Amino acid sequence: MLRRYRDILAIPAIRTAIVVGFLVRLPFFGAGIVVTLHVVRTLDRSYTEAGVASAVLVLAIAVSGPWRGRLLDRWGLRRVLVPSIAVQSGYALVAPTLEFGPFLMAQAVAGLFFIPVQPILRQAVMAAAPEDRRRAALSLDGVVLELSAGLAPAIAVWAATTWDTAVVLGGVFWASALGGVILFAVDLPLRRAGAGVAGGAPPATRSWFGLGVLALLVGGVTSTLVFAGTDLSAVASLNEVGRASSIGWVLALWAVGSLIGGLAYGTVQRTPSPFLLLAVLGVVTLLPALSTGALSLGLLLLVAGLLGQPVVTSTVEVLTDRVPEAARGEAMGWHSTAMTTGIALGAPVSGVAIDAYGGSGGFVLVGSVAVVVGLTLWALAGQRSRAGAPAR
């Protein structure tokens, strides 16, 4: 297994994408918690208002995904990055000085022009990887994404509780702008050699966005709904048994499971159905509901985490197979929007069950949703295949 990944990292363009990807994703994953703490601690507003501010940023990022991805297809990397770098820099200068009302408007603008890191990095990895190593390359990128997503909030909380949140808020968005400058400088190829460069109108969205693509996006929403719901349910479960101090290492075990699963998936020869993997993710997410303490919860989350990255990577893999290369930026933008939407829905959906039945209720609800959605999409995909429907 390690040899496969050594071979992947021996490709200069992939090595660059992996290292740069880790760095430029940190501001993306740290921004939400810094915004929340700034609204509560510096602007002296409620957690509800802080949630609104974070939601505005997240929703703006989600809305911009397909649009920015299509611009990547049409204009190429550097022309798309320039306005993002300018807006992120302007936000870093102005937003820390704003009162709550104008701050919300700044959130919307910053979100619409956030650096489109996911479409850029996924495309760069796929463009550089040989066809027979694409799964391993995407899996490795997924593992790096997991590391960024786990490390960034911890750094953000530490910084925002150590220094003035206005300073930290500006720092996060200066880091985002710097990430854009780094991407501009390295200018990662987004298409395979010989496939041409971006320019001109990409294929019309309706030419490739069919029921098959829609099903994959629904699966993407569901997967991250499960992740966000699992996160909140784990915290609630530990609070119920008086083990809030164990939250860090318990969630770390969950992340370790995801890393192991992602690396193992990269060595698989056949492409499993992402819908079937989603259903299995739902089944293993039910297991933590049986936990009796911090240790059992951590071990069960370790098992549940094994399916996390495989679900995400398989969805990306199948989606890219269904989409012309000249439209992959937009497709990855749609996928990023689906993932962001699931994250936004996960906490409130699981929160309903947690309020009624405790942490175990949250696991049961989001796990059951994944089982039902996964099996339904798997059955529908099978029916379309047997009917000879074109794979769009």
Strand, coil or helix: what is 51?
helix
Residues 6+ away with beta carbon under 8 Å from 44 = none
pLDDT per residue as tens digits for the range 146-178:
889 888 888 888 898 899 999 999 999 999 999
Give exposure, 254-290, as e/b (b: 16+ Cβ within 10 Å): bbbbbbbbbbebbeeeeeebbbbbbbbbbebbbbbbe
| Residue 163 exposed, middle or buried by CB count within 10 Å (0-12, 13-18, 19+) | exposed
- Mean local confidence (pLDDT), 214-235: 94
pLDDT of residue 149: 85
The pTM of the full predicted model, rounded to 2 decimals, is 0.86
pLDDT of residue 392: 47
- Mean local confidence (pLDDT), 267-292: 94
Check whether 197 has a pLDDT greater than 90: no
Identify the band that residue 261 occupies on the pLDDT scale cut at 50, 70 and 90: very high
- Mean local confidence (pLDDT), 377-390: 73
Higher pLDDT, 202 or 331: 331
> In whole angstroms, what is the distance from residue 262 CA to residue 89 CA?
34
Please give the structure tokens belonging to residue 134: 């694409």
Please give the structure tokens belonging to residue 337: 């929007």
Check whether 194 has a pLDDT greater than 90: no
Cα→Cα distances 208→203, 227, 319, 322, Å: 8, 28, 10, 7
CATH topology for 1-192 is Growth Hormone; Chain: A; (1.20.1250)
Check whether 214 has a pLDDT greater than 60: yes
- Mean local confidence (pLDDT), 299-322: 94
Pinpoint the residues of the chain covered by CATH 1.20.1250.20. Answer: 1-192, 205-387
Check whether 70 has a pLDDT greater than 60: yes
Please give the structure tokens belonging to residue 228: 């966000």
Torsion of CA 79, 83, 89, 94, to 10 degrees: 180
Please give the structure tokens belonging to residue 23: 């760095």
Q: Mean of the per-residue pLDDT values for the chain? A: 90
Q: Which CATH class, in words, describes the domain spanning 205-387? A: mainly alpha
Among residues 110, 363, 128, the alpha carbon closest in space to that of 227 is found at 363
Amino acid at the residue 254: W
- Mean local confidence (pLDDT), 95-115: 94
- Mean local confidence (pLDDT), 190-206: 70
Identify the band that residue 288 occupies on the pLDDT scale cut at 50, 70 and 90: very high
Ranges 46-55, 153-162, 237-246, 368-377, most confident: 368-377
- Mean local confidence (pLDDT), 306-313: 94
